[in-house]
């Protein structure tokens, strides 16, 4: 019995229709903790180089962490991971809600799905009963619709992870959906699920999670809870959710606008978190064990739909980045993406890219089937979302992602295809934020902000500086938030509410019975970071520095307007940032982990 | 007891380096949130969210006597 863990791993082979249950090994828990730690270890060790991301040799990993399912604030995250069909490299994405908690109650820390089912199926888990069930009745249904159907069929207590038509149609940025509006959104984890004809996973558990010191666990959990509730920021995040960041990001000149042409959107009156609260928010939604209900459940009268959101990223990508300025239109686009099961970040980014191409004459009505594209045209956005999910006409090209679309469209459009490593950049225009740009360049799934949200450091120490401490900060952050991902928890308690990070140390000790220092825990994060980097190195011949470069727009086009007007990070500084980062990471100057670094982290099984 | 031409100011988290957690300030007519922020010696960009009387406001908004102002930073940068 492993304190803090469900204790079991489920291995599902969809080709043969077999399910095996094994015990979670102590070494796995010790060296990788859980969440994306488990994902990185499984994917590196078990998915062979060259595996087709859409084929049976790819594995979909679902992982909880030691905090999942326990009453620790923020313990509501589940990690989904696979080799990415979008990038060809490592992918993980986490989702808030209840799923990992229910996995733990059923006794599972890790689910590994390989193979391809001959027919659509869903994985049914109820404590020790695990079976593959016919999903024909659900295949083709929207993700929100399918989750409703499954809960009605199985019972409300089941937690559901489900794909929509986007995943079924292998859109490269399809997401895995859960709890009526939350998603594991990035890098095509939903695409992998669709490629396996796995429509959903339904889980219910009635067991108890073993904890080493229940009294101390309750005391520590209660202390963390009290901190959160007493925080002067608590009511702010409950009122606004992440949409509260729309205004400051715009004031920082970091709100992506019209395909990242600039970082300041002029038309924010109907896009602020406050306007959203007053106009459309109906109620607040929380994840498992979280006292800060940051989810905003909304109803738009204009479009007569309910949606969870829009979150900051969605306000950026289905709003400013496509030139749309009414949060109700953003909410409708959000609803479409959520039910179709495609990532709002990549979807908006790709639509914005197509729109800029159209405005520049790189593509025309011939390519779009007569649909006119212009920034601010929300009806065109709604139409393109649907064409992408159904892979119709130009939607088929856009469904492959911005990098591919730029290659298909030509006309020099790669200059402003806002992606790194094949993953569309998320919501921070970074020409006046070198640390944030470095964070995007080095994020281990392609450009994503949640590994190292470094923009506040740029602001704190001076935005123009391109200095060693910025590289050091990015590395430090890459060992913190991803560590919280390994634990199965959310960063909100720390980033938004200011909870001290070392709160996790006594929590982990009380739960697991093992006293690990914060340094020891962050070393796990460093191990996982080097392992995911090594996955890319092995998968992609010639992988190295040039894969870390940002799109040319970010080092050749000065920001034209707003608070960051005139700013960019020069190509020379891009190289300097990478030089400093690689050196501090103990990697070669081409960005590859050295034998020495790998051995220091216990990664002797990684061959270089 | 509230004094007529004062606003109540709350500084959250790391902004407490720049002043007490809770205080009252006299404001001149037409003074804005960003004016108050600068008077504290604070870089306005370090303030992520501004709440006035429980609602998010812009830093350019003017303040009225009796307003309750809360200045919220974001961490994740250190």
Spatial contact of A402 and A349, defined as CB atoms under 8 Å apart: yes
* Segment A485-509, tens digit of pLDDT: 999 999 999 988 889 999 999 999 9
- A240 and B49: CB-CB below 8 Å? yes
Spatial contact of A101 and A208, defined as CB atoms under 8 Å apart: no
Q: How far is Cα A451 from Cα A527, in angstroms, rounded to an integer?
A: 14
Residue ranges in A99-233 assigned as alpha helix (H): 99-106, 143-154, 165-168, 189-195, 214-230
- For residue A449, the tally of other CB atoms under 10 A from its CB is 22
Spatial contact of A510 and A527, defined as CB atoms under 8 Å apart: no
pLDDT score of A529 = 98
Domains assigned to chain A: 8-204 (3.60.9.10), 232-423 (1.10.569.10), 430-498+517-600 (1.10.599.10)
Q: Which residues of B touch A274 (CB under 8 A)?
A: 55-57
Q: How far is Cα A38 from Cα A307, in angstroms, rounded to an integer?
A: 32
Residue ranges in A155-302 assigned as alpha helix (H): 165-168, 189-195, 214-230, 234-240, 246-251, 273-279
The pTM (predicted TM-score) of the whole model is 0.98
DSSP H or E stretch at residue A583: helix A571-585
pLDDT of A591 over the 70 cut: yes
| Residue in chain B nearest A436 by alpha carbon | B77
Q: How far is Cα A51 from Cα A60, in angstroms, rounded to an integer?
A: 13
DSSP H or E stretch at residue A333: helix A327-340
Assigned token pair, A574: 């891009």
* Segment A560-573, tens digit of pLDDT: 999 999 999 999 99
Return the residue matching tokens 């089941």.
A158
Smallest Cα–Cα separation from B50: which of B4, B9, B3, B14?
Answer: B9
Instruction: Give the residue-averaged pLDDT of A132-154.
Output: 98
pLDDT score of B13 = 87
pLDDT of A1 over the 90 cut: no
Q: How are strands ordered across the β-sheet holding B22-26?
A: B22-26, B6-11, B68-72, B49-52, B55-57
Residue of B59, B75, B76 lying closest to A251 (CB–CB): B59
Instruction: Give the residue-averaged pLDDT of A188-211.
Output: 98
Q: How far is Cα A586 from Cα A319, in angstroms, rounded to an integer?
A: 40
Residue B33 to residues A278, A347, A593, B39, B64, Cα–Cα distance (Å): 21, 36, 48, 10, 10
- Distance separating the N- and C-terminal Cα atoms of chain A: 36
The answer to whether A475 faces chain B, any CB pair under 8 Å, is no
Residue A289 vs residue A307, higher pLDDT: A307
Looking at domain B6-72, its CATH class is alpha beta
Assigned token pair, A501: 């990070």
Q: Best residue in B10, B11, B55, B56 to probe A by mutation, most A CBs within 10 Å?
A: B56
Confidence bin at B5 (pLDDT 50/70/90): confident
pLDDT score of B78 = 40
Spatial contact of A24 and A512, defined as CB atoms under 8 Å apart: no
Return the residue matching tokens 């953003």.
A330
* Segment A408-425, tens digit of pLDDT: 999 999 999 999 999 999
Sequence-ordered strand ranges (E) for A218-372: 281-285, 295-300, 305-308
Assigned token pair, B34: 């960003």
From chain B residues 52-71, the ones with a CB under 8 A of any chain A CB are 54-59, 70
pLDDT score of A498 = 86
pLDDT score of B29 = 84
Q: Which residues of A touch B59 (CB under 8 A)?
A: 251
pLDDT of B2 over the 80 cut: no
Interface size A-B, in CB pairs within 8 Å, comes to 85
| Residue in chain A nearest B71 by alpha carbon | A233
The answer to whether B34 faces chain A, any CB pair under 8 Å, is no
Instruction: Give the residue-averaged pLDDT of A157-163.
Output: 98
Sort residue A59 into left (φ over 0), alpha (ψ -120 to 50) or beta: beta
Q: How far is Cα B53 from Cα B47, in angstroms, rounded to an integer?
A: 17
Half-sphere exposure at residue A4, Cβ-oriented, CA atoms within 13 angstroms: 25
Spatial contact of A260 and A249, defined as CB atoms under 8 Å apart: no
Residue A76 to residues A71, A287, A436, Cα–Cα distance (Å): 10, 5, 26
Lowest mean per-residue pLDDT among A71-80, A138-147, B21-30: B21-30
Instruction: Give the residue-averaged pLDDT of A425-429.
Output: 98
* Segment A248-292, tens digit of pLDDT: 999 999 999 999 999 999 999 999 999 999 999 999 999 999 999
* Segment A314-364, tens digit of pLDDT: 999 999 999 999 999 999 999 999 999 999 999 999 999 999 999 999 999
Smallest Cα–Cα separation from A451: which of A431, A416, A421?
Answer: A421
The answer to whether A272 faces chain B, any CB pair under 8 Å, is yes
Q: Which residues of A touch B43 (CB under 8 A)?
A: 459
Spatial contact of A512 and A96, defined as CB atoms under 8 Å apart: no
The answer to whether A481 faces chain B, any CB pair under 8 Å, is yes
- B12 and A273: CB-CB below 8 Å? no
The answer to whether A251 faces chain B, any CB pair under 8 Å, is yes
pLDDT score of B4 = 63
pLDDT score of B77 = 43
pLDDT of B3 over the 80 cut: no
The answer to whether A240 faces chain B, any CB pair under 8 Å, is yes
Q: Which residues of B touch A236 (CB under 8 A)?
A: 12, 49, 51, 56, 70, 72
pLDDT score of A368 = 98
Q: Which residues of A touch B16 (CB under 8 A)?
A: none
Q: Which residues of A touch B58 (CB under 8 A)?
A: 247
pLDDT score of A150 = 98
Instruction: Give the residue-averaged pLDDT of A447-455.
Output: 95
Q: How far is Cα A92 from Cα A79, in angstroms, rounded to an integer?
A: 7
Lowest mean per-residue pLDDT among A205-214, A423-432, B26-35: B26-35
pLDDT score of A28 = 98
The answer to whether A458 faces chain B, any CB pair under 8 Å, is yes
Residue of B12, B58, B74 lying closest to A495 (CB–CB): B74
Average pLDDT, chain B: 89
């Amino acid at each position: 019995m492993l304190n803090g863990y469900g204790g079991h791993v489920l291995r599902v082979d969809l080709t043969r229709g077999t399910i095996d249950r094994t015990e979670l090994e102590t070494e796995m828990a010790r060296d990788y903790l859980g969440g994306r730690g488990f994902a990185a270890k499984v994917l590196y060790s078990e998915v062979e180089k060259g595996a087709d991301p859409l084929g049976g040799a790819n594995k979909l990993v679902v992982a909880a962490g030691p905090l999942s399912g326990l009453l620790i604030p923020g313990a509501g995250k589940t990690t989904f991971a696979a080799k990415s069909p979008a990038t060809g490299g490592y992918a993980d994405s986490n989702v808030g809600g209840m799923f990992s908690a229910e996995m733990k109650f059923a006794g599972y820390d890790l689910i590994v799905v390989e193979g391809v089912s001959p027919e659509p199926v869903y994985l049914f888990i109820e404590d020790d009963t695990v079976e593959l069930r016919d999903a024909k009745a659900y295949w083709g249904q929207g993700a929100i619709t399918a989750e409703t159907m499954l809960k009605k069929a199985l019972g409300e207590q089941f937690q559901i992870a489900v794909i929509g038509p986007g995943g079924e149609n292998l859109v490269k940025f399809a997401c895995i959906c859960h709890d009526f509006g939350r998603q594991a959104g990035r890098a095509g984890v939903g695409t992998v699920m669709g490629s396996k004809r796995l429509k959903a996973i339904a889980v219910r558990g009635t067991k108890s999670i073993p904890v080493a010191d229940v009294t101390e666990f309750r005391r520590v959990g209660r202390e963390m809870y009290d901190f959160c509730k007493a925080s002067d920021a608590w009511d702010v995040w409950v009122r606004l959710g992440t949409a509260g960041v729309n205004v400051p990001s715009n004031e920082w000149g970091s709100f992506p606008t019209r395909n990242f042409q600039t970082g300041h959107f002029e038309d924010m009156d109907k896009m602020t978190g406050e306007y959203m609260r007053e106009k459309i928010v109906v109620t607040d939604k929380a994840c498992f064990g979280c006292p800060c209900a940051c989810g905003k459940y909304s109803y738009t009268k204009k479009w007569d739909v309910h949606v969870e959101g829009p979150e900051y990223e969605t306000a950026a990508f289905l709003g400013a980045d496509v030139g749309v300025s009414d949060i109700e239109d953003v909410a409708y686009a959000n609803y479409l993406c959520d039910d179709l099961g495609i990532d709002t970040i990549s979807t908006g980014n790709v639509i914005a890219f197509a729109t800029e191409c159209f405005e520049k004459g790189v593509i025309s009505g011939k390519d779009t089937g007569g649909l006119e594209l212009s920034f601010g045209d929300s009806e065109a956005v709604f139409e393109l979302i649907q064409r992408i999910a159904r892979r119709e006409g130009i939607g088929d090209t856009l469904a492959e992602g911005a990098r591919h679309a730029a290659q298909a469209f030509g006309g020099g459009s790669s200059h402003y295809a806002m992606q790194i490593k094949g993953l569309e950049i998320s919501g921070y225009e970074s020409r006046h934020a070198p640390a944030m740009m470095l964070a995007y360049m080095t994020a281990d799934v392609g450009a994503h902000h949640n590994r190292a949200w470094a923009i506040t450091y740029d602001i704190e120490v001076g935005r123009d500086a391109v200095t060693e401490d910025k590289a050091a900060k990015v590395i430090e952050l890459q060992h913190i938030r991803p560590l919280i991902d390994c634990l199965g928890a959310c960063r909100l308690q720390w980033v938004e509410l200011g909870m001290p990070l070392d709160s996790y140390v006594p929590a982990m000790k009380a739960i697991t019975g093992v006293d690990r220092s914060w340094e020891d825990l962050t070393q796990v994060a460093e191990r996982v970071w080097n392992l995911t980097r090594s996955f890319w190195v092995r998968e992609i011949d010639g992988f190295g520095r040039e894969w870390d470069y940002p799109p040319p727009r970010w080092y050749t086009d000065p920001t034209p307007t707003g608070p960051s007007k005139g700013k960019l990070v020069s190509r020379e500084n891009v190289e300097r940032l990478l030089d400093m980062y690689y050196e501090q990471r103990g990697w070669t100057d081409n960005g590859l982990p050295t034998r020495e670094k790998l051995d220091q982290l216990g990664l002797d099984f990684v061959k270089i | 007891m509230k004094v007529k031409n004062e606003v109540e100011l709350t500084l959250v988290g790391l902004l407490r380096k720049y002043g007490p957690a809770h205080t009252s300030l006299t404001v001149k007519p037409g003074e804005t949130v960003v004016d108050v922020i600068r008077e504290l010696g604070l870089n306005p960009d370090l303030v992520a969210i501004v709440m006035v009387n429980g609602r998010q406001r812009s830093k350019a908004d003017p303040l009225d006597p009796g307003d309750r102002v809360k200045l919220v930073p974001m961490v994740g940068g250190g």
